[in-house]
Amino acid sequence: MPSHDAQRASAERAGDPDALAGSPGRRMSRRSVLQGAATAGAVGLAATALGAAVSPASAATRPSSPRGAANAASGPLVVHVRNAKSGDIEVFHGTSKTRVRDKDLAARIARAIG
């Protein structure tokens, strides 16, 4: 069973519509879609990193877990800095996306690209 299906089914059972917002075509609550539409309009500075691990400083903004570490090691991460000034960052991995706000990480990525 694909992992995102499992996540979707789990979210449905848990009655968490926002957890389903990334699932196309199905079980999207009106609220989650409207939220998605709103955020899609945000102006972003795009920077991507293939195979890069989120730095310890960034990780500090989210609870770390052995499972998260295993996932990070199992495939590439794609990091999208939507707004370097506010530190709005999306991290894509597998079939999931995590949104973090980390001004320090965004600033260091911006410095890294010159």
Partner 1 sequence: MSSHREAPEISKNPVADSTDLYAFVSPDKPDTVTLIANYIPLESPAGGPNFYEFGDDVLYEIHIDTKGESEPDISYQFRFQTQLPNPDTFLYNTGPITSLTSSAWNRRQTYSVTRVDGSGVHELGSGLICPPCNIGPLSTPDYASALAGPAVHELSDGSVVFAGQRAEGFYVDLGSIFDLLDLRPFQNLQVYAKALGLQAAPGVNTTAFVNVHSIALQVPISKVTASARPVIGVWTTASRQQACILDSDTGQPVYSGPYTQVSRLGDPLINEVIIPLGKKDYWNTQQPGFDKQFAQYYAHPEVSGLLPALYPGVFPNLAALDKAGTVRADIEAILLTGIPTGIIPGFTNFTGPVQADLLRLNTSIAPAANPNILGLLGGDAAGFPNGRRVFDDIVSIELRALAGLTVPLVDKSFTPDAAAGELTDGLTPADLGTPYLDVFPYLGVPYDGFDHPS
Binding site residues, partner 1, CB under 8 A: 1-2, 4-6, 8-9, 22-28, 30, 33, 48, 50, 75-78, 80, 90, 92-97
Shortest CB 104 distance to partner 1, Å: 22
Nearest to 58 by CA among 112, 114, 107: 107
Nearer to partner 1, 54 or 77 (CB): 77
The conformation of residue 18, written as its DSSP 8-state character, comes to G
For 109, half-sphere exposure in the C-beta direction (CA atoms, 13 angstrom radius) is 29
Nearer to partner 1, 97 or 108 (CB): 97
Strand partners, 96: 93
Secondary structure of residue 23 in the 3-state scheme: coil
Shortest CB 15 distance to partner 1, Å: 13
